[in-house]
Each structure stands twice: as C-alpha cells, then as structure tokens.
Structure 1
Amino acid sequence: MGRKILNQNLNNAKSSKKDEFYTQLSDIEKEVRHYKPYFKDKVVLCNCDDPRISNFFHYFSYNFEQLGLKKLIATCYKNKNAELFTDNQCEEAIYLEYTGDKNGDNIPNPEEIGVISLKGDGDFRSQECIELLKQADIIVTNPPFSLFREYITQLMKYNKSFLILGHQNAIIYKEVFKFIKDNKIWLGINNGGTKWFEVKDHYDITTESRKKIENGKKYFSMGSVVWYTNMETAKRHEDLILYKRYSEKEYPKYDNYDAIDVSKVSDIPVDYEGIMGVPITFLDKYNPDQFEIVGSNRGIDQDPNGIYGRGSYLNGKETFKRLFIRNKKVQKNEN
C-alpha cells in the first residue's frame, strides 16, 4: 500500500507539472566550479533529468574531459524523448551513458551517447535505477521538490556524494535535519537571491513578477532554493564575523525554550554562551568549527530538550522557523 501511495504522489506531481523545473546552465556552472577536484575519475549520475533540455547533462557532457570524468549517466522518467537531439516521442523510460569524446572534436555527438531502454518507468526509487545509483560516485541534479525527503534519504542510505538543489525549507524536514545536525549534509556556495527555472509553455504562473520569456522560453522564479551537498568547500570553514554583544533587552528569551531569539543572522551576539534561536538562513553561514547546531523549533525530535513540539513563542506569539545553535568561540567582554 505504501508503495502505491508513493507512486501515486509521483504521478500526481508529474501530471500537475509541479516538479518540472529545469535548472539554468549558468547556475550549474557557478556552483559546480567549486567542486571540480572531486570529479576526476568519477562516475556522475543525473537521475532526475529530461535529456532534451537537461542542463546538467549538457554541462557534464561538454566538460567531460576538463573534469576528467570516468562516465556520465542520466536517467529520465518515461514519456520523455529517447532520441537526444530529435523531436520523436517515446513512451518508454531510458538512460543515457557517455564515456567521453571519441572522434576528437570535443563535442558529445549523438553517436557517442549510448541510449538504453529501462524496463520500468525511470522512477529513481525503482530497483533498476537504484542499480545505476550504485554505479555512481557523485549525484548532481534537481530532484522533484515534492519527493525531496525520499530522495535525500536514498542518497544517504547508499553513501553517495552529491550536489543537488532543494527548497530552503527542507532544512528542517525531520528526514534532512538529522543529517544537517550531525554535519553529514550542508549547504553549497551560491544560495542567495532568486533562481530562475525553465518550465514548459503550459505551466501556469499566476504572478507576473515571477515569470519571464527569453528567447522563446518560459521561466519561473523561485526564491529560497539552495544547493545541498556533502562535499567540503573552503567557504564552509570561514568564520562568521560577529560584532554585537548580548543584552537582555535586545535578545528576549522564548516562552517555551531555554534560548534567546536572534531575529537576524548578522545580530548573533559574540559573547553569549547559551543556546540561540536563529533563522534557517543561518545555515548558509554555518561553520561547524565556530558553531554547534543543537536543534530546531520544528518538532519534539528536533528540540534539544525533547520537550516541545512545533513552534517557539515570544510573548505568546509564534516565531518563524528557527535553528538552535551554540557558539563554540565565545568572546568574553574583558570589561
């Protein structure tokens, strides 16, 4: 029964087109360049991609030799195009394999790309797609946001390195937060600002400011979309510069948590030893050498005291989502 429900959810998402967001090449280039040493002699899997318009497949196939890849694999859900550079429709799921340039022109030509039929529908949870996952060293893609919990759980189960896009709110999903708290998942580099994703022409966007047409293609803007990874970067170990000092008046304590509220990441006090509640945007500045993440205000399983459920309150009013942190490098006031 559980499997049927999962499949129904995936099909509903597919039919409503809610998960069909295609990442721009510029966003991929800006992020992947920070991880280039990791890719040498590795098998890369893009397992949530339509190869007709997948900029992930485009990026890694055209940069195959520069990155020193061993193999590139891309899977797509059924009813996608089995012929990479044509408009012929196909009702079967496929996966593509590319092992590098063969004719010396440094271009991934169609005859150099293997197109292999899948027996199933290309669902990343299917056994044949899991077998492809096992072959891979690094997973890079934009998975369906509606299935992010299952997707990240699978990557962690099979101990894969990854660089994937997801909504910022996933930080406090119980399936994700436990790995963040234990320093097994963190955010990538380019997480600020609004990202524009290509969508199909029939995708309904009701807010004019969130859509645009460029070169005949339709784009949808999404704020709060971030990169999740488990590959180290230098940025992750840069200290956050703190300048404010604690005062009871400026930093009130929660009604139901033994912690102070810090409404802006830039206002984290340099001299406070206790637990602080900060916005989830803090994770973009998080240095595990400088701070410890001890919990969040989204569920008893994330409460450092194991007491409270959902929400933290100030004077009876619920605050926004918060991470609970502790400063490892408290600077005492010498006065």
Structure 2
Amino acid sequence: MAKKTGNRNLHSSRRDKADEFYTQLSLIENELKYYRKHFMDKIVFCNCDDPYESNFFKYFAINFNSLGLKKLIATCYATSPIMYSQLNIYGQDNIIGEAKSGKKPYKIEITEVTDLNQDGRTDLADVEYLIRNKKNILTLLDGDGDFRSPECVDLLQQADIVVTNPPFSLFREYMAQLIEYKKDFLIIGNQNNVCYSDIFPLIRDNEIWLGYNNGHFWFAVPDTYEEKATDFKIDENGQKWRRMGNICWFTNLDIEKRHEDMTLFRTYSPENYPKYDNYNAIEVSRTADIPCDYYDIMGVPITFMQYYNPEQFEIIGQTHSSDLSDSTESLRTDSRFRHRGRIKGKEKYARILIRRKQAKSEDKQ
C-alpha cells in the first residue's frame, strides 16, 4: 500500500507545472568538463530527459565520440509538458506519430554518432540523423516512463553513470534509487538537500559530495508556468525562464576539487568564536572564517560543503533535530534544545559540525 501511495505522489509531482525546470546547455558544459575521464567506454543514462528538449541528451549525443561513450540512453515520461517540442526528428514517423497521438513515453538508445554532413564534428544536425540511423533505437515504452517504473529501473541497471536534473521535489526518492542500485551519478539539486535526514548521512560518510559549480541559475520552464514578480523572465522567443537559488551538483565521481585544501587565514579566539549553549562546539559564522589553529568541533555554514576536502576535515554531524547519530548526540548539552545551535539564547542558522584533521606536518596548537 505504501508503494502505491508513493507512486501516486510521484505522478502527482510529475504533473505539477512548478516542478519542471530544464537545464541550459552552458550549465551542463561548465560542470561536465571536469568529469570527461569518467565517461570512457561507459553507458550513460539520462532518465528524466525528453531527447526532443533535454540539453543533457544533446550534450552527450554531440560529445558521444569525444567522450568515448559506449552507449547513451534517454527516457521521457508521459506527462512531460514539452514532449516533441524542439528537435526535428524524422524517419521514425510510425513511432513518433503513435507517441504524439497519445503522449506516450519512449526511450532512445545510441551506440554510435555519425558525422552526417562530414564537417568534421558532430552537431544538432547529426543528432537528428543518428536517431533515425538503423544502429540506434527509438522505441515506445510500455509504462509511463517514470524513473521508478520497471522499464526504467531495468535500464538503470544497465547503466554505468546517471546524469540528469531530476524534479526538485523528488530529489530524495531519486537519490535513494541511485544509492540502492549502486550507480555512479552526477545530478543537479538544491544545496539545502544536504541537510535532509536521508541525504546528510551519505554526505557525512563520504558516499556522495558536491561538484564544482553552485549558485543562482536560470532554467527554462513550460509555457503554462505562472509568471512571477521576481527571478522570472520571458525571452525574445517567448520562452519562460525561472532563476533558482542555491543550485549545486551532487555526485559520487571523484574530482580534483575534493582533494584541494581550503586556505585558512583566521586564528581562534574565544571572543570571535563563541561556544553554543546547547552543543559542545564553537560557532563559525562564515566558511571563510574557519580558524587555522582550532582542532575541536566547529559549526560551519552549509556553504562549507562546496570546499569540503575529507583529507582536511571530518564531518561529525549537523545542528538539526533529525540527526540522531551517536556523534551528534554526544555533542548536545541541553536536551531541551536539540535543534539548531544557540548562543546566549539566540538560535543560529543550520550548521554542519566539523573537525579539522591534524596534518602530519603540523604541530597541534
């Protein structure tokens, strides 16, 4: 019964216009340039991506040969408001016609990309060609194309790496599936996802981490999306856009950034780094203010995760009542206030509890 309820919620969220955000190609390119070595001879699955619109699909199709991909798989779901809206894919009229008539989902599997116009590179014209090439497959799905449907789970099990922008409201379910099937991934999410009770342990235990880019980014939204007074625009082509804040990438692919030490300038003093009333830790209000000479527990902003190097710091817990880990419980000093840290009775923002590791070349102060 619980599973059926979960699926209803899943499908309801899929139909929610406010949960459809489509990623710009530039945002994808600016992040994936750091991961190229991971894709050689791999099967990539984009399981929230209508190939007619998805820039994830376009990126991997255009770069199929340069990345050395073995296969690219993309699936879309039946209620997508932008199905069949952009790429002029022809030559599969019997399939596309049937799909359009009933808004049926489909999958595309690509095993090669041919330079159709022989200009020495693959471009969107070649992407259109490769979909109708006999060595590539476009087929209808029996189900609704949801990433949790049996068909999509079967495709997931074939894949080596999953790359996409899942619906923000389904981030927890989506991440849980990736972990369950032990998949490598690179996906877009909100930085606040770090503090979710089912996401944070993965961060703490170094099973997942953040990628390179973060901040406020513009996403294309369906035409039916309600206009907003702020962080909203309509371009010269009539396309609606919404700017989302605190956007970041989540991954379990190793990257150089994760092994770069943060440069620390500040020195510790009790006056500048007061202790919490309810946690045995000091407050560090800004990531840039982490002291270079303090080796006990500190509460730091979530933005710290963008600079986190597990060789330099250890994540202990977070100042959130959902964190019931032994390591965090041992730091709580007032059972009345188990949520955010307090200083002189005033509640602070959510914090990540960390400890700096002692470098071999350092003498502990």
Question: Could you say which TM-score interval applies, normalised by the shorter chain?
Answer: over 0.9
Specify the SS of the correspondent of 1:305: helix
2:2 is aligned to 2
Distance 1:68 1:326 in 2: 40
Specify the SS of the correspondent of 1:166: strand
Q: 1:91 aligns with which of 103, 108, 114?
A: 103
1:318 is aligned to 347
Distance 2:264 2:9 in 1: 44
2:39 is aligned to 39
Q: How does 1:154-233 map to 2 (within 5 A)?
A: 154-191=177-214, 193-233=215-255
Specify the SS of the correspondent of 1:44: strand
- The reply on whether 1:53 has 2:42 as its aligned counterpart is no
The answer to whether the 8 Å contact 2:71/2:109 transfers is yes
Distance 2:356 2:197 in 1: 23
* Identical amino acids, percent of aligned pairs: 49
Sort the Cα spacing of 1:67 and 1:333 in 2 relative to 1 into closer, same or farther, 3 A.
closer
2:92 is aligned to none
Query: For structure 1, which segment, 64-73 or 94-103, has the greater mean C-alpha deviation from structure 2 after superposition?
Result: 94-103
Q: CA RMSD in A?
A: 2.0
Shift of 1:174: 1.6
Greater Rg over alpha carbons, structure: 2
Sort the Cα spacing of 1:103 and 1:55 in 2 relative to 1 into closer, same or farther, 3 A.
closer
TM-score (norm 2): 0.86
The answer to whether the 8 Å contact 1:210/1:222 transfers is no
Query: For structure 1, which segment, 307-316 or 256-265, has the greater mean C-alpha deviation from structure 2 after superposition?
Result: 307-316
Unmatched runs of 5 consecutive residues or more in structure 2: 90-95
Query: For structure 1, which segment, 236-245 or 208-217, has the greater mean C-alpha deviation from structure 2 after superposition?
Result: 208-217
Specify the SS of the correspondent of 2:198: helix
Shift of 1:333: 8.2
Distance 2:352 2:225 in 1: 34
Shift of 1:318: 1.6
Deviations 1:95-140 (A, max 9, x none): 1111112465442213134211111111111222111000000000
Q: How does 1:266-277 map to 2 (within 5 A)?
A: 266-277=288-299
The answer to whether the 8 Å contact 1:161/1:229 transfers is yes
Q: How does 1:259-270 map to 2 (within 5 A)?
A: 259-270=281-292
Q: How does 1:67-82 map to 2 (within 5 A)?
A: 67-80=67-80, 81=83
Distance 1:301 1:325 in 2: 16
Distance 2:341 2:234 in 1: 38
- Aligned partner of 1:329: which letter? Q
TM-score (norm 1): 0.93
Unmatched runs of 5 consecutive residues or more in structure 1: none
- The reply on whether 1:101 has 2:113 as its aligned counterpart is yes
Deviations 1:242-300 (A, max 9, x none): 01111111111111100001010000011112100000110000011100001001223
Distance 1:274 1:333 in 2: 11
